[in-house]
Structure 1
């Protein structure tokens, strides 16, 4: 009788008292009723679609059912083709990485991969040629993005699929230097993920796209998705490929170049939003059921357990998934390509998922903003007797950076600056964009407001040793104290600007003088000829460097072979500079020079040496 009474009371509460027993089944984790979900999302995205976002597909999953699947804006603006979660094919960007980690865990379950084994055990002898440290790199290091590799832009993506090579050849061509000891720094790495996929190829003796198609896509009926677009001939899917756009002004969009990858496991998947919803459901089996992707329930639980965290109060990494501290613990991954942005977020405890795909480069307002609104935030508890935020002030550089080659200059020009607003609040800024954070735990700060670019960086943890910040841990990558002073960078900038002005102005003056001499039929002395050669060589160096930087700004998705001509020209013009200087010095005593010419020739040589020194320092020769 007691049990019957209890059961009757529970049933009564569930049926007649809203919000008591089954309320969470009808709400998003943030508390939005599912019956109001569509209108809420409609109102939320209205501010951005057609203004700052070309188009978006939003799919929400609850209890293994799609409760919202809706497209907004256009898949093709010119032709007015609307977005459709069921048919529009979009680039998923780095959400593709999750299929690598699922593949790896399938092989872990089969005993074919040991997460703590040196990965060289699975690779051909001598495959990695740029390792700096003796400590072994493990699969866990690859999953946690802590193998120590620098970021490399060249040969990551191409505008033409004709340049795409096999995964093995793509890895060899794009191998980065190892700049950190394994396990010490989180530096997000496309190479690491693609290297893990190559290990899957080696073990299974199948190309990675074939393995994923057979062991993931087909199993969960993801029939409208492709792991490697250039290899496919599925016209039914190809005809629904969405156009990607770049924002050039409010309400103004420019169609972007295509994006093809040799290291496709890191970001080459294309598919529908509804298909990603199937993937989300496969990762959230209800009750004690095992996932269709694994033979054992423990494998999924292991995959969604913390594999790295900088601090107990900070969300970490769960075997390649990003942990998210919402109202309930979530697991996510976002993605960006040249013209697409995405966010994939699951909350297993609530059997809830949000998938947002957009055909807009660098989009964050919907991909992250809407997701945050539906997921909710954990309760905020400001810490008492917190360390003064002044302790963390400073300038920091991303650990995910190019360290070799001229592109490393970009990271020094776009540092992360931390400013104390009061004893418990800081403001961070990058390239003029700002975000405010409040201290929640000692040296742990939570984002409260600011530009949408900071939405992915919800939590900052400052690793402080004896009052000095050694590292900042964020969701995607660590930041390290700036190793070059701002005054030095400013001085270099001023000196380079001087070189630009000097050689361009003197080149114009030289042209005028040549014209005057030609009209008067007056010949240049040998000294003047070599000095002219010096000026022209310096001008050629300046112009070549400016063209190189301009090409990279217009389109960074380039093969290294496309820009090697600039390095070759830098060597050539540097040689002619040095040769000209030699002959200017050689002929110095053979001519009687006025003080003005002594000044001019000396300034020409000093300016040339200054320019060459700057180009060597900032690695513009390779």
Structure 2
């Protein structure tokens, strides 16, 4: 018996030993079932992720939920950090978070379902599917198609108001939200990619009209239920689902190493573009639906061709530049990678899937703008495609310059803000480009003519792994990044014009901030010598000049407060800032009246013993300064 047992043990050992090299080879090559696309063995995946996130959790990132799937199976599902810092409640697989813009993928999947059924033509003018005169701010006669909406090139400006609220009471119906926050069309359809929340919600409204169901009910019935997504909802008012509300994480802002301030949840009338709530595991089920096994059908579609079409590229700035696949964004992974990121007021998320490997990664964090894990960990597991450097490359200096986002307001005072965060491109060596944006910078290497790949720098720019400069006759027409185009400055907004505008605005602001204190000091000190009294403006002049100065100060204070409010939280209803617009109009009217009265007074009263300039300068200076200030308010449309 002992001899027989020994033979069995030795045989088993030989078999095991023989299988080890094959298993190791499978792991090292990233073979099916063995590794992530970047080559991390699944057997060591949890340890790798644990080690990766420990550098950030509790220091730079408050909490994260990470799920990875391979070949239709969850290979990692784990929470890190806290869902509630104050109550020390950890993130778990049951933690509900906000999807952000990943929600858009449900809209595009819904549209593809209706197209499959013959109820929607992706190339049809969507105006035929909307109520009469629904879109009232179009500038071009060319049709806007569902494909335009999917490719974010319908031409809409970025309307900054009434997109998100901080309380559920302000949420209206989808139709009302679309009417309230309708943007103007500032580009010809198909010409410029400008990421559009409005366009996505408009597509969801079309789904609503075709299906005869509220959009969130359609998604629940045709997407979430078939996929078994029991812990998610396609709506922003999570209070409607108490069982989800109980597990929803609080959102936070980074306030310094190891310090986080609580933010608010996201409530939206145009909820389809970013209002979904749910667990990371549910989102992973959604991802798996786009990667069925060979010979199997996606539970989302009735025909295999529908999924194939959806995952096919529908737009790209250049052949080797990652583009758009019917609403999915391409990513330059080891293999073709598709996905979408998301941000709400206080959450940041990412979803990437690799159909060739049947691999997907879902990362959800309860922190505004988190990038270290959301983008960094994603890049670590999906990898990056091999560089294919060209033999002859154009000089990097050809693309040097400053560019403004195509995704920007075209009207109103918010049109100023994109010019405060312009993209700056400058040479950095023979084939390197330094990209600067909003306080971040990154190094990009030219790998093909005018095609650049990120090689280092701030993790916040990991959302833009590549950029492409479209050059014609030696001039850059557009710089395409992951989700939008950046355009050259127009003559009316060239750098000299912008610098002059900034200098004049700064001069006027400084004057009207200091002038009232100077007047106050003069009044308190009572320096009124006889000769000065004779040269000073008469009493009426002095009162009018003081009134004009205080009016200018009021305009400065009102608009500085307006700017600070928008910078601190740009997710506001227009009704919140409208009173300040009215104040601008009222103070401008008052300033016009005071200037007219001062001019009449100066024309009637002159001192013959002194030159007019010397006699009138105390009144002329504030008139000049307020004229400069008003010109800047008109230039940047601070009246609308």
Match for residue 130 of structure 2? 123
Normalising to structure 2: TM-score of the pair?
0.92
Match for residue 70 of structure 1? 78
Secondary structure of 2:544's partner?
A: helix
**Pair 1:313-2:327 in alignment:** no
CA distance in 2, matches of 1:15, 1:54: 40
Match for residue 13 of structure 2? none
**Pair 1:17-2:27 in alignment:** no
CA distance in 2, matches of 1:306, 1:218: 28
Match for residue 633 of structure 2? 615
CA distance in 1, matches of 2:527, 2:172: 55
Secondary structure of 1:374's partner?
A: helix
Aligned residues of 1:14 and 1:20 also touching (Cα < 8 A) = no
Secondary structure of 1:439's partner?
A: strand
CA distance in 2, matches of 1:133, 1:357: 39
- Give CA deviations for 1:196-244 in whole Å, capped at 9, x if unaligned: 0000000011100010001011111111111113275321111111000
Aligned residues of 2:61 and 2:370 also touching (Cα < 8 A) = yes
Aligned residues of 1:13 and 1:20 also touching (Cα < 8 A) = no
Match for residue 169 of structure 2? 162
Instruction: Work out which of the residue numbers 556, 559, 574 in structure 2 matches 1:545.
Output: 559
Match for residue 48 of structure 2? 40
Match for residue 620 of structure 2? 602
Aligned residues of 2:26 and 2:34 also touching (Cα < 8 A) = no
Secondary structure of 2:240's partner?
A: coil
- Give CA deviations for 1:13-60 in whole Å, capped at 9, x if unaligned: 977533556833211111111010000000101111111111001000
Aligned residues of 1:382 and 1:440 also touching (Cα < 8 A) = yes
Aligned residues of 1:14 and 1:21 also touching (Cα < 8 A) = no
Aligned residues of 1:226 and 1:232 also touching (Cα < 8 A) = no
- Give CA deviations for 1:349-376 in whole Å, capped at 9, x if unaligned: 1010000000011011111110111011
**Pair 1:288-2:306 in alignment:** no
**Pair 1:83-2:88 in alignment:** no
Match for residue 505 of structure 1? 514
**Pair 1:527-2:541 in alignment:** yes
Match for residue 4 of structure 1? none
**Pair 1:433-2:437 in alignment:** no
Secondary structure of 2:637's partner?
A: coil
Larger Rg: 2
Deviation of the 1:515 alpha carbon? 5.0
Distance 1:539 1:16, change over 3 A: closer
Match for residue 156 of structure 2? 149
Deviation of the 1:511 alpha carbon? 3.0
Match for residue 11 of structure 2? none
Deviation of the 1:432 alpha carbon? 3.2
Deviation of the 1:313 alpha carbon? 1.0
CA distance in 1, matches of 2:314, 2:385: 21
Match for residue 574 of structure 1? 588
Deviation of the 1:258 alpha carbon? 2.4
Deviation of the 1:528 alpha carbon? 1.5
Secondary structure of 1:589's partner?
A: helix
Q: How does 1:550-561 map to 2 (within 5 A)?
A: 550-561=564-575
- Give CA deviations for 1:117-145 in whole Å, capped at 9, x if unaligned: 00011000100000001111000000000
CA distance in 2, matches of 1:21, 1:615: 65
Match for residue 326 of structure 1? 333
Alignment coverage as a number of residue pairs: 610
Match for residue 385 of structure 2? 378
Aligned residues of 1:71 and 1:82 also touching (Cα < 8 A) = yes
Q: How does 1:44-55 map to 2 (within 5 A)?
A: 44-55=52-63
Match for residue 198 of structure 1? 205
Deviation of the 1:517 alpha carbon? 7.0
Secondary structure of 1:187's partner?
A: coil
Match for residue 484 of structure 2? 477
Secondary structure of 2:373's partner?
A: helix
- Give CA deviations for 1:441-491 in whole Å, capped at 9, x if unaligned: 111111111101110111111111111110111111111112222232222
Match for residue 3 of structure 1? none
Instruction: Work out which of the residue numbers 232, 246, 265 in structure 2 matches 1:225.
Output: 232
Secondary structure of 2:213's partner?
A: coil
CA distance in 2, matches of 1:26, 1:139: 39
Deviation of the 1:194 alpha carbon? 0.1
Distance 1:24 1:499, change over 3 A: same
Distance 1:467 1:518, change over 3 A: closer
Q: How does 1:143-542 map to 2 (within 5 A)?
A: 143-230=150-237, 233-483=240-490, 484-514=493-523, 525-542=539-556
Distance 1:519 1:209, change over 3 A: farther
**Pair 1:93-2:111 in alignment:** no
CA distance in 1, matches of 2:435, 2:336: 26
Aligned residues of 2:238 and 2:244 also touching (Cα < 8 A) = no
> Which is further off, 416-425 or 535-544?
416-425
CA distance in 2, matches of 1:152, 1:597: 49
Aligned residues of 1:418 and 1:428 also touching (Cα < 8 A) = yes
- Give CA deviations for 1:413-432 in whole Å, capped at 9, x if unaligned: 11111111233211111133
> Which is further off, 426-435 or 370-379?
426-435
Unaligned runs of 5+ residues in structure 2 are 1-16
Aligned residues of 2:238 and 2:277 also touching (Cα < 8 A) = no
Secondary structure of 1:193's partner?
A: helix
**Pair 1:110-2:117 in alignment:** yes
Deviation of the 1:508 alpha carbon? 1.8
CA distance in 1, matches of 2:396, 2:474: 11
Deviation of the 1:589 alpha carbon? 3.3
